Structure 1
Amino acid sequence: MSDFVVGLTGGIGSGKSTVADLFVEQGATLVDTDAIAHELTGVGGAAMPALVAEFGAAVAAVDGAMDRAAMRQLVFADPSARVRLEGILHPLIRQLSAERCRAAGSPYVILAVPLLVESGTYRERCDRIVVVDCPESLQIERVMARNGMLVDEVKAIMAVQATRQQRLAVANDVVVNDADQAKLHVQVAVLHRKYLMLSAEKVKASC
């Protein structure tokens, strides 16, 4: 059981997943709220009955998973639909992520939350917050290359996220992801040793 939680966040295209994977390689447990959301809305997902009851059968694909395209259209056409969608998903994500953090067998947990800065409840659950940072121009470049999106589409996503400055303002630690993998590995290894030490200190203090 681990009670030392490191919140990991960063803007779109910053490389959060890459950094999270590097922490896992070091021995950390990863609890990813995006992955939990996909699980809840996948085939047989725990959120699907409530989503179908709220929005109708049209939001479910043939296999029973959420039809993401249909839900996107719905949310785009009706702003209140997003609030209702989040009202169903967010409590379930919070509950599952908390259970998995508690069940982790590693000295510390990486709790990956894309919108951690925007969501106060997650910040309160973290002993440390690590932000994956890079220049905004590099974020745009990466997302365009990865998702085939236009520059304006990427900027529109970034506009509804916390700003780079807002993320850095709440960070206890920063991983700079603007160069090569070797530089990333070094930064993560240094933080891993730091979190092991802090986790041990917290355990000691609670005894």
Structure 2
Amino acid sequence: MTTLTTPLRLGLTGGIGSGKSTVAEIWRAAGHRVIDLDAHSRAVLDVPGDGVEKAIARFGEEFRSDGGTIDRAAMARLVFADADARADLERIVLSRVDAAVAREEQDAARAGERLVIHDSPLLLEKHHEADYRAVVVVLARREDRISRVMRDRGKDRAYVESVMAAQVSDLERIRAADRLVLNTADRETLSARALHALQTVLVEREDSALR
């Protein structure tokens, strides 16, 4: 019987516009398995299937879009006004996200991979630090983050600042991080910093496991 080795689980997070997704791309391009928790979450309601049907059963056909998925605008209006509805939607989404992530981790174990990385935008807001052997945080200057989101996502400044206000502060991120990646220069510099941070974390965790 083949014994599967559980891969080391690493958490990656950062505030809106920090460049966290870019770091995830860099690590993925380097051959590491990066699990995008936000993508799994969106897929529950944006792809026809069990998650959509469960939400429709709970909230009603009026929340089904013309494409057969969830009408996000209508659902947002409901859940922002109704805490019970929000809690029910979170249970529907999170249970399916957890199942999808577990499947990816099982695939990684079967493939003999030593590492899985969770790209998790709300890792600290949801207090999930203890779920990981190490947490890497991407930091960038506030004004750089605002201008990046305005440019790349077409959002206005008020929107970006409102999201920032709902997230943990950079000081809280620094306190929670095992390793920081500073996104304060060009893409080449960020790539070098991201790869160095990941290698450092792997060496430190492997050393500690041998003690």
Residues 5 and 101 in structure 1, CA contact (< 8 A), matched pair in contact too: no
Residues 43 and 65 in structure 1, CA contact (< 8 A), matched pair in contact too: yes
Distance 1:198 1:4, change over 3 A: farther
Structure 2's unaligned 5+ residue stretches are none
CA shift, 1:50, in A, is: 1.4
What does residue range 10-159 of structure 1 map to in structure 2 within 5 Å?
Answer: 10-104=14-108, 105=111, 106-120=113-127, 122-159=128-165
Distance 1:202 1:44, change over 3 A: farther
* Deviations 1:7-36, CA, capped at 9 Å, x for gaps: 000011111111000001111101111111
Residues 3 and 102 in structure 1, CA contact (< 8 A), matched pair in contact too: no
| Residue 171 (1) aligns with residue 171 (2) | no
2:152 alignment partner AA: R
CA shift, 1:70, in A, is: 1.8
Distance 1:45 1:174, change over 3 A: farther
Residues 52 and 70 in structure 2, CA contact (< 8 A), matched pair in contact too: yes
2:46 alignment partner AA: G
Structure 1's unaligned 5+ residue stretches are none
* Deviations 1:74-103, CA, capped at 9 Å, x for gaps: 233434432221122122212321332232
Aligned residues: 204
Q: Which stretch has the larger CA shift, 183-192 or 17-26?
A: 183-192
Distance 1:158 1:45, change over 3 A: farther
Residues 15 and 132 in structure 1, CA contact (< 8 A), matched pair in contact too: yes
1:46 alignment partner AA: D
How many angstroms apart in 2 are the aligned matches of 1:60 and 1:162?
A: 33
Using the size of structure 2 for normalisation, the TM-score is 0.87
Residues 133 and 205 in structure 2, CA contact (< 8 A), matched pair in contact too: no
Identity of matched residues, %:
33
What SS does the corresponding residue of 1:9 show, helix, strand or coil?
strand
How many angstroms apart in 2 are the aligned matches of 1:199 and 1:96?
A: 26
1:114 alignment partner AA: P
| Residue 193 (1) aligns with residue 204 (2) | no
How well do the aligned residues superpose, as a CA RMSD in angstroms? 2.1
CA shift, 1:198, in A, is: 4.7
